[in-house]
Amino acid sequence: MTANDTLFEAAKIHIPGGVNSPVRAFNGVGGTPVFIERARGSKIYDTEGRGYIDYIGSWGPMILGHSHPHVIEAVKVAAEDGLSFGTPTPFETTVADTICRIMPSMDKVRMTSSGTEATMSAIRLARGFTGRDKIVKFEGCYHGHSDSLLVKAGSGMLTLGVPTSAGVPADFAKHTLTLPYNDPEAVKACFTEYAGQIAAVIVEPIAGNMNMIIPDQAFIDTLRSECSSDGAVLIFDEVMSGFRVGLGGAQAHFGVTPDLTCLGKIIGAGLPVGAFGGRAEIMNCIAPLGPVYQAGTLSGNPLAMRAGQAMFELLEAPSFYSELEGKLDHLLGGLKAAADKHGVPFKTCRLGGMFGLFFTDGATDNYEAVMACNAAHFKQFFHGMLDRGIYLAPSSFEAGFISAAHTRSDLDHTIVAADEVFALIASA
């Protein structure tokens, strides 16, 4: 039995499934999860000291790399001042000012403790602002585990949703409409069918939870035009894409202004934090200014705020994102060449520091297409890379991330490892 096996069995005694978030259990790829003890730069290290080049980055926020000295110093100073006050602090104002300056769609912003809280609160706010109940979401997009959003499509494209998790009342799910991602005609049909009833459309403008999908401009433009015409609130869930695909997020990439935006732990440099914000007219409906209640003792936690501000100071360097893109061009070009060399169907996509890997030679523009990718090839690739010291997301439905700390040596080592694994896949 390995050290990881022992740790996993011990974890199962008092932690359901041995993990505190389901994807960590390796159910999507099989095998035993790796227990990580520390991290620095581009690498994470297990309890036996083995290093792995990390392409998860705590699911996105470690854009500077792990344990960046500028961030760590900010956290140390903050910790010496106290861990939590439950009062206003100047640091949350500084971070709010920074976010609203970088993302012009956000006149005002409210801090939360997680991305799930941010999306849940944004939905409640949209309903309170519009006086409507129904929301629209899309197949393959994940917006956290609040009841209204753990919903799949009904029997037809425009039928009301049904719960995807036990414990979600059907009465909640019936107010959620689920549409195919990247399909502007489905959006138009939905607004025709439910005119005047939709409170909000929530979408990952760059999908990161069915692998990575960059939708067509027409899809995003249609969301904006239909919401504007009908009086619905357009919510961009940029928990994954915000400050990852570019300084201004996906909304800057598409040139589309949402009414509300949700952000996640990247704004705290990886510490537990989230935020939602947008037009002042809508945000002024939040308590204490308005009737929509939202609260949190740890919202605007001083450690997360000071860590986030330290990170933003570095993200705004002129060449920061172009350097990330250059690294991904080299990495993904090398992976694709290796796959082609061995005749393995394989495609990639990337924007900023975020990327997707697909074992297919077909379409990769919606949930059904991603579901049709070769899951067996991904599992073999994942474990082959893990054996060679490369840590990828343990699911074929998750995006990957690169950081400023990844070196050319890291990237070349990854390409060499992939070449070996693609050869094994081809010979299987």
Instruction: For residue 294, report the phi and psi dihedrals to the nearest 5 degrees.
Output: -155, 135
Distance CA 379, CA 382 (A): 5
> For residue 48, what are its two tokens?
């036996």
Q: How many Cβ atoms are within 10 Å of 38's Cβ, its own excluded? A: 13
- pLDDT, residue 172, reads 73
Return the DSSP state at 398: S
Distance CA 53, CA 63 (A): 14
Report the Cα 326 to chain-centroid distance in Å.
Answer: 21
- From residue 216, how far is each of 3, 21, 71, 221 by CA, in Å? 46, 31, 36, 9
Instruction: For residue 398, report the phi and psi dihedrals to the nearest 5 degrees.
Output: -120, 145
What is the DSSP track for 221-233? HHHHHHHHHHTPE
User: What mean pLDDT is predicted for residues 274-286?
Assistant: 98
Enumerate the CATH 3.90.1150.10 domain ranges in the chain, comma separated. Answer: 3-67+318-427
Is the predicted pLDDT of residue 278 greater than 90, yes or no? Answer: yes
Distance CA 123, CA 260 (A): 10
pTM of the model: 0.95
- From residue 148, how far is each of 129, 165, 170, 172 by CA, in Å? 17, 11, 10, 6
Amino acid at 307: A
Residue scoring higher pLDDT (279 or 1): 279
> For residue 272, what are its two tokens?
């537990």
Task: Return the CATH number of the domain spanning residue range 3-67+318-427.
Answer: 3.90.1150.10
pLDDT in tens, 118-152: 999 999 999 999 999 999 999 989 888 877 777 76
pLDDT in tens, 24-83: 999 989 999 999 999 999 999 999 999 999 999 999 999 999 999 999 999 999 999 999
* Residue found by looking up tokens 């249609």 in the block: 222
pLDDT in tens, 216-243: 999 999 999 999 999 999 999 999 999 9
- pLDDT averaged over every residue in the chain: 94
Contact (Cβ atoms closer than 8 angstroms) between residue 162 and residue 154: yes
Is the predicted pLDDT of residue 22 greater than 90, yes or no? Answer: no
pLDDT band at 324 (very low <50, low <70, confident <90, very high): very high
Q: How far apart are the first and last CA of the chain?
A: 27
Buried b (16+ CB within 10 A) or exposed e, 382-398: bbbbbebebbbbbbbbb
Is the predicted pLDDT of residue 109 greater than 60, yes or no? Answer: yes
Strand arrangement of the beta sheet that strand 347-351 belongs to? 347-351, 354-358, 400-401
pLDDT in tens, 349-390: 999 999 999 999 999 999 999 999 999 999 999 999 999 999
pLDDT band at 155 (very low <50, low <70, confident <90, very high): very low
Amino acid at 194: Y
- pLDDT, residue 93, reads 97
- Four-point Cα dihedral 325, 330, 332, 333, nearest 10: 130
Enumerate the CATH 3.40.640.10 domain ranges in the chain, comma separated. Answer: 69-315
- pLDDT, residue 150, reads 74
H-helix or E-strand containing 422?
helix 408-427
Helix (H, G, I), strand (E, B) or coil at 132: coil
Strand arrangement of the beta sheet that strand 390-391 belongs to? 36-40, 43-46, 51-54, 390-391
Residues known to be catalytic: 142, 237, 265
Distance CA 321, CA 404 (A): 9
- pLDDT, residue 153, reads 52
Helix (H, G, I), strand (E, B) or coil at 348: strand
pLDDT in tens, 158-176: 445 566 778 777 777 788 9
Distance CA 392, CA 408 (A): 18
pLDDT in tens, 174-203: 889 999 999 999 999 999 999 999 999 999
Task: Return the CATH number of the domain spanning residue range 69-315.
Answer: 3.40.640.10
User: Which residues partner with 260 through β-bridges?
Assistant: 235, 278
- Enumerate long-range contacts of 31-34, CB under 8 Å, 24 or more apart: 31/383, 32/2, 32/4, 32/5, 32/8, 33/4, 33/8, 33/394, 34/4, 34/386, 34/391
Contact (Cβ atoms closer than 8 angstroms) between residue 94 and residue 102: no
